[in-house]
Amino acid sequence: MDYLKYWTPVVVVGVAFLGFYLGGDWVWLGIGTFPVLAFLDSVFPRDFGVRKIQNARLANIPIWLCTLGPVCLYFAFAWRLSVEDLNGWQIAGGILSVAWMGVIPLVPAAHELYHMRGLLPRIVGHYGHLCIFDCTRDIAHVVGHHIDVATVHDGDTAARGKSLYAFTGRAVIESTRYSMRMECEALRKRGLHPWHLRHRVYRAALALLIFHALLHAIGGWRANLFGLAAQLISRVWVESFNYFQHYGVIRVPGAPIGRRHLWNHLHWFSRTCGFEITNHADHHLNSYQAFYKLVPHREAIPMPSVFVCFLAALIPPIWHELIIKPALKRWDAEFATPAERALAREQNRAAGWPDWQSEPELKVGQAHTVGV
């Protein structure tokens, strides 16, 4: 049964393909899965189950399908444009459908592939990110985020008080700049010019050029234009989801990374459709750990569905007052070390938030191990 759970996102991609096959207003089917998944993930109880999976090859089939499927969905969109004169409403539905599939399930699936040790999975994971217009995303993620998570140096960790709108645009820019800088430094260490032809940005650009050439061959210039719109929407959407998994958590730079240094969203559909990317704590302790081996952190502060967090963050006062401030207040008291609490107090002050550490009724403890 545990193997079948991860075929849920394959069904989601299949629904999007069906929409483009049927055409007309049916092209909205892909994006239509967003409110359905949001509702189901919110009403289902939290899922703390540990998966009983032994066969890695069988478990990884959905990963491959959910990396390659959303890429091919762009071609399905281009084909539909070539055989039907879609109106503006239908074009919007097509753009949003392929954009959403580039967020869920593509990014979690590609993320799993480029964390594997094999060359082929890493290559497919890299170029699966065609859908989000960023085939070098793994550089900032692996080299930067996994080292700097929850510190001021991590572009994926939003400081307290920052809104989703202020965070997302800057995160796109910082992630891109960091990837380029790290690749340049890697080439320089090998004795090459920082912008040598081996720089991955050139291969990324070539991949995007080939991708759009195929879109044009199938659906003409409109396929290029609408495909690019979907890619850029996906990119922004993906960065916005980082906001919820790391918001406001504090770690002293250079200190050990613990399970407490990010938020988990342990609901059934977010776990399965995200290939455990919302059950993320163990992944930061061992980035090569397979998604189905990640163990839910039962001792962590429970967070709402990631879909609820996203929708709440669209209205910052709701996100801050009803969800994240209560969680961070408890985090400071129960999970932070003294050094982390000091940094948290500074961030609270800079954000104009209350100094809840001074409240007499707040019982302050201390994190005892790296795993907390």
Total count of domains within the chain: 1
Residues above pLDDT 70, as percent of the chain: 97
Cα–Cα distance between 272 and 9 in angstroms, integer? 7
- Is residue 62 domain-resident? yes
Determine how many CB atoms are found less than 10 A away from the CB of residue 120.
9
For helices 88-101 and 200-246, what crossing angle results, to 10°? 90
What CA–CA distance (Å, rounded) separates 216 from 210?
Answer: 10
Within a domain: residue 367? no
What's residue 370's pLDDT? 46
Question: Where does the pLDDT of residue 169 fall: very low under 50, low under 70, confident under 90, or very high at 90 and above?
Answer: very high
Look at 19-33, 75-89, 105-119 and tell me which has the smallest mean pLDDT: 105-119
Domain-located, residue 361: no
In a domain, 192, yes or no: yes
354, part of any domain = no
Q: Which domain holds residue 70?
A: 2-298
Q: What pLDDT score does 286 carry?
A: 83
In a domain, 103, yes or no: yes
Mean pLDDT over each residue of the chain, to the nearest integer:
93
In a domain, 344, yes or no: no
Interhelix angle 8-22/29-43, nearest 10 degrees: 150
pLDDT band at 140 (very low <50, low <70, confident <90, very high): confident
Q: What is the pLDDT of residues 186-221, one digit of tens each?
A: 999 999 999 999 999 999 999 999 999 999 999 999
pTM, two decimals, is 0.94
Q: Does residue 233 fall inside a structural domain?
A: yes
Confidence of residue 168 (pLDDT cuts 50, 70, 90): very high
